[in-house]
């Protein structure tokens, strides 16, 4: 592909050739026209002279004179032949130009080349009295003219013009090659410098010499200034990259420390929840166990009295009747409170084991929700809040019951602590609906609601409205992470201030495999 220098040279050559071609064409046309006019004048002059001089010689049948006249007119090279015919004799005289330029007489009326022109020869006799008589045709003359001279002249002119154009083009190419080098050599060095600057390190590229004092010198000095600026910018960028790399390492370490701290806080929150569960259940078990112990003591004391009376042989029917009444009542109290304690221990054991082990198993959802709510009774009975469960039976889940217990516990206690004041009556409803392979759980309350400015931040860590009053701001963040990461589901919240709040959870009945939940975790962090 031509460069700019080649294209400029080609453009100038084309322009010069075109201008010289147009000029040569016009000159050729003018020359041809002039030659045609000159040839026409020559024809007219020859014919006029022949028509003037030949009639009298032909009238007198003076062949020598006719030959001399014809030979004299054959001097111009354009004439091929002149033939003079007499009206009675026929060919009277004729001259022919041979190929070598010599002139010879025409012996017969053979074909002759060139373009023939025929003219009549009229003799005018003045008569005896000097009066003009009517002209008499005494013969005719045939003159053959040749265009070879004109064509040769035009061809020679064409060759001269072509040679002139070629010489001018060569001179122009040489002149342009020499003159354009003055411009394009510095431009080539500038191009090479730009290419090196783009493909190599800026430190490896030397500045171009700027000794010129013309426009190109200004361009080169501008390039050198840009190069120095680029080197400076690259140095600053490298320093900034080093600083950014150090800052990134520091940030990554801080983020890792923060993640470990958050995980520790989350674990502490879960353990604290479990500790609260242990304390509450221990308190709840204390009452039925105490009643059962008291009843057993009464029964033992009554049994010892009856045994003493039997051994003394003074047992009475009334003693036996009273003993039976005491034993019956004590047994009833012992059985009822032992069953109550066993139920509490069973619920606590299942919930505690699930929260600690993180094991996956199949379980019936409604019964499990009831067990979780039962484990919360030690806290709920200190309030005026009731928990209603609306869950269809026989909804089976293959999932992590411990994590689900953590979710239900955190949502319920969040309502207890934030939706109501200490002495307010309230209602918390846990509703469940199955939708194909998914369940939708809705935890609603009729409390005071969530402020609009907090609604978008309730799942963020360390966001709480009870800071300084025991609130950590991790409860709902734990719920969000468990639902999104461990269950592969979603959770949303809606609230109208003064009309309560509603948390909607969507989870699959069969929790996805670990790689799926990890993928959901990646989407969550993204």
The full DSSP string for 214-275 is SHHHHHHHHHHHHHHHHHHHHHHHHHHHHHHHHHHHHHHHHHHHHHHHHHHHHHHHHHHHHH
Residue 77 to residue 58: CA distance in whole angstroms:
25
The full DSSP string for 265-319 is HHHHHHHHHHHHHHHHHHHHHHHHHHHHHHHHHHHHHHHHHHHHHHHHT---HHH
Residue 37 to residue 259: CA distance in whole angstroms:
109
Of 37-51, 104-118, 121-135, 240-254, where does mean pLDDT reach its minimum? 121-135
Residue 376 to residue 281: CA distance in whole angstroms:
8
Question: For 358-400, what is each residue's pLDDT tens digit?
Answer: 678 899 999 999 988 888 887 888 888 999 999 998 899 998 8
What is the per-residue pLDDT for 525? Answer: 43
CA distances from 452 to 309, 412, 449, 467, 498 (A): 77, 21, 9, 18, 11
**Ramachandran quadrant class, 97 (left: phi over 0; alpha: psi -120 to 50; beta: rest):** beta
- Those residues with Cβ within 8 angstroms of residue 204's Cβ, 6 or more apart along the chain or in another chain: 196
Per-state percent for the chain, helix, strand, coil, to nearest 5: 60, 15, 20
Residue 143 to residue 120: CA distance in whole angstroms:
11
Query: Mind listing the domains of the chain with CATH numbers?
Result: 4-166 (no CATH), 362-526 (3.30.565.10)
- 198 phi and psi, to 5 degrees? -80, -30
Residue 105 to residue 121: CA distance in whole angstroms:
20
Burial of 377 (0-12, 13-18, 19+ CB in 10 A): middle
Question: Residue 333 — pLDDT band, cuts 50, 70, 90?
Answer: confident
The pLDDT of 142-166, averaged and rounded, is 87
Question: For 220-278, what is each residue's pLDDT tens digit?
Answer: 777 777 777 777 777 788 888 888 988 888 888 888 887 787 667 656 655 665 565 56
Question: For 446-461, what is each residue's pLDDT tens digit?
Answer: 998 888 888 888 888 7
- How many helices and strands (H and E) does the chain possess? 11, 12
Of 396-405, 470-479, 488-497, where does mean pLDDT reach its minimum? 470-479
What is the per-residue pLDDT for 6? Answer: 75
- Encoding tokens for residue 326? 């005491």
Residue 400 to residue 438: CA distance in whole angstroms:
15
Question: Residue 489 — pLDDT band, cuts 50, 70, 90?
Answer: very high
- What is the sign of the dihedral through the CA atoms of 254, 257, 259 and 262? negative
* Overall size of the chain counted in residues: 526
What is the per-residue pLDDT for 515? Answer: 45
- Residue pair 443/483 in contact by the 8 Å Cβ criterion: no
Burial of 82 (0-12, 13-18, 19+ CB in 10 A): buried
What is the per-residue pLDDT for 516? Answer: 46
Residue 299, pLDDT > 90, answer: no
The pLDDT of 487-497, averaged and rounded, is 91
Residue 63, pLDDT > 90, answer: no
The residue among 486 and 130 whose pLDDT is bigger is 486
- 427 phi and psi, to 5 degrees? -140, 130
Q: What is the DSSP letter of 99?
A: T
Burial of 349 (0-12, 13-18, 19+ CB in 10 A): exposed
Question: Which residues are registered as beta bridge partners of 115?
Answer: 145
Question: For 122-148, what is each residue's pLDDT tens digit?
Answer: 887 665 444 556 788 888 888 988 888
The full DSSP string for 31-48 is HHHHHHHHHHHHHHHHHH
- Residue pair 411/379 in contact by the 8 Å Cβ criterion: no
Residue 193, pLDDT > 80, answer: no
CA angle 183, 185, 188 (to 5 degrees): 110
CA angle 42, 139, 65 (to 5 degrees): 70
Q: What is the DSSP letter of 76?
A: S
């Amino acid at each position: 592909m031509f460069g700019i220098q080649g294209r400029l040279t080609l453009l100038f050559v084309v322009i010069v050739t075109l201008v010289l071609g147009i000029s040569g064409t016009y000159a050729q046309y003018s020359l041809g026209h002039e030659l045609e006019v000159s040839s026409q004048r020559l024809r007219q002059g020859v014919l006029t002279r022949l028509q003037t001089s030949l009639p009298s010689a032909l009238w007198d049948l003076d062949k020598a004179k006719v030959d001399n006249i014809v030979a004299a007119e054959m001097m111009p090279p354009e004439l091929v032949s002149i033939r003079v015919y007499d009206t009675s004799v026929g060919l009277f005289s004729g001259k022919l130009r041979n190929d070598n330029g010599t002139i010879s007489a025409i012996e017969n009326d053979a074909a002759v080349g060139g373009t023939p022109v025929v003219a009549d020869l009229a003799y005018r006799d003045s008569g005896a009295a000097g009066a003009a008589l009517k002209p008499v045709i005494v013969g005719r003359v045939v003159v053959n003219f040749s265009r070879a001279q004109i064509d040769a002249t035009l061809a020679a002119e064409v060759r001269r013009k072509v040679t002139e154009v070629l010489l001018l083009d060569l001179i122009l190419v040489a002149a342009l090659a020499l003159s354009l080098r003055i411009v394009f050599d510095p431009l080539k060095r500038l191009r090479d410098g730009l290419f090196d600057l783009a493909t190599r390190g800026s430190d490896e590229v030397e500045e171009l010499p700027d000794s010129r004092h013309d426009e190109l010198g200004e361009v080169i000095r501008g390039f050198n200034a840009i190069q120095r600026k680029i080197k400076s910018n690259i140095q600053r960028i490298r320093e900034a990259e080093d600083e950014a790399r150090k800052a990134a390492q520091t940030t990554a370490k801080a983020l890792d420390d923060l993640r470990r701290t958050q995980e520790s806080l989350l674990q502490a929150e879960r353990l604290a929840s479990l500790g609260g569960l242990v304390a509450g259940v221990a308190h709840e078990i204390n009452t039925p166990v105490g009643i059962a112990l008291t009843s057993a003591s009464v029964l033992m004391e009554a049994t010892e009295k009856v045994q003493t009376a039997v051994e003394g042989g003074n047992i009475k029917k009334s003693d036996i009747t009273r003993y039976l009444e005491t034993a019956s009542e004590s047994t009833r109290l012992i059985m009822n409170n032992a069953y109550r304690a066993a139920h509490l221990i069973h619920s606590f054991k299942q919930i505690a084991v699930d929260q600690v082990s993180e094991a996956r198993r199949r379980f019936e959802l409604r019964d499990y929700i009831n067990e979780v709510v039962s484990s919360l009774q030690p806290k709920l009975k200190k309030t005026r809040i009731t928990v209603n469960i609306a869950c269809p039976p026989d909804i089976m889940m293959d999932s992590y019951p411990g994590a689900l217990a953590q979710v239900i516990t955190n949502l319920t206690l969040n309502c207890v602590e934030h939706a109501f004041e200490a002495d307010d009556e309230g209602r918390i409803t846990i509703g469940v609906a199955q939708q194909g392979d998914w369940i939708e759980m809705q935890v609603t309350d009729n409390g005071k609601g969530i402020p609009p400015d907090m609604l978008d931040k309730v799942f963020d860590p360390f966001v709480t409205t009870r800071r300084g009053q025991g609130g950590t701001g991790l409860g709902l963040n734990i719920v969000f992470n468990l639902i999104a990461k461990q269950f592969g589901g979603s959770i949303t919240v809606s609230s109208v201030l003064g009309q309560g709040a509603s948390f909607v959870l969507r989870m699959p009945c069969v929790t996805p495999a670990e790689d799926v939940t990890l993928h959901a975790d990646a989407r969550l962090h993204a």
